[in-house]
Amino acid sequence: MKTDVEVVIAGGGQVGLALALALRQAAPTLGVTVADPAPAPHARQGRASTLVAGPRRLLAGLGVWARIADAAERVTAMEITDSRTGDAVRPVFLTFALDGEDGEAYVVPDAAVTAALAEGAAKAGAEIITGAGVADFSTSGGAVTVRLADGGMLRARLLVGADGARSKIRELAGIQRVGRSYGHSGIVVTVAHERPHGGKAWEHFLPGGPFAALPLKDDAEGRHLSSLVWTEPTDIAERLVEGDRLAFQVELERRFGHRLGAVAAIDQPQAFPLGIFVARDFVRPRLALAGDAAHSVHPVAGQGLNLGYRDVAALAEVIVEGHRLGLDIGSLGVLERYQRWRRYDTAEMGWVTDGITRLFSNDNPVLRPVRDFGLGVVDRLPELKRMFIGGASGARGSDVPRLMRGEAI
């Protein structure tokens, strides 16, 4: 069947745009269309993300890191503390010095990355349709027919669902998820503080959940900024976000402490539900899922978006190599390699983040001294810490996609 394009990507966030750019850059003859319901390329407003070594190399290889770099703050170190909210002293049990190639980590506003990827994808020849997401699709023979919300129709060899945790593509395909909700929500907000952070990130494990502060670049007014990811039971999170700003400020100060002087939120806090979910299938004939559409993990280790970039690198490599060999890129024979490639890594990171969440998001008097002793032991084993950093980087291992290594497909 004649197709309009080879690949339609549902979702114009970082994962969808990065995939479009990677495909067009490696295989300029591949027709790629990105369809997103938002009126402009989608960025999570007010959000910032930590990008580790592998995704940073991918973005550099795609030619967009130079534009992003000015907005990126390199993380120099990470501190882990474990105490109660009202404790006067918060002892540091574990520190990571983030240096060397595998230790790269940058905190970047989502809007800066999305803008750079959208510009790069458009220049590479990808068609970006905004304000009209995928409303429905059907497969027949050698093509998938995609109906857009504005009534437009496209035929393609492959449809990629990169439309987030509440993926409509996954729902339309009838693909179930396994996992559970934590009954917690993550509050995200940008704060200004009196003293500079020095590039240091820290995560404070509280009974209600982890409270992480990620360093951002100073703004144009010279204010010192950090991005917070603050976990609370969902009912408490909703009251904090929707309630009185003075009450929010009081709770913010209780958790942030005085290490960087006076602190205040500079944008509207937002809350999003947390859980661990993995799609039963990452691929079907003519369909692949990537990013949060395929898997969602707790933000405790900052790996959610980085897992999405690993999906991009693996799926782009599978599609491009299949295209060069003259294979049908929407067939299960091609796509199953992507599913095998990504499923173990996704499951492993899910187990890690779920285990950390279960161990630390409580005030169990038996568990607390045991876990704090364990953190102290790890802190005294530099080789073990380097192993953890290398595993989280996405750039180390025997079967790492080329883009994660900074190599062209």
What residues contact 48, with CB distance under 8 A and at least 6 apart?
Answer: 107, 108, 109, 110, 190, 214, 216, 227
Task: For 132-163, write each residue's pLDDT tens digit.
Answer: 999 999 999 899 999 999 999 999 999 999 99
Distance, C-alpha 42 to centroid of its chain: 14
pTM of the model: 0.92
C-alpha distance from residue 366 to each of 203, 359, 363, 370, 374 (Å): 21, 11, 9, 7, 13
Residue with tokens 């973005």: 59
Residue 373 is predicted with a pLDDT of: 65
Residue with tokens 């919300």: 149
Residue 385 is predicted with a pLDDT of: 59
Residue 393 is predicted with a pLDDT of: 64
Residues of the chain with pLDDT under 70: 1-2, 43-45, 84-93, 100, 361-368, 370-398
Residue 300 is predicted with a pLDDT of: 79
Please answer whether residues 183 and 233 qualify as being in contact, where contact means their C-beta atoms are separated by less than 8 angstroms.
yes
Residue with tokens 């890690």: 352
Residue 303 is predicted with a pLDDT of: 86
What is the set of domains in the chain, with CATH numbers? Answer: 7-179+274-400 (3.50.50.60)
Task: For 87-104, write each residue's pLDDT tens digit.
Answer: 655 666 678 777 767 778
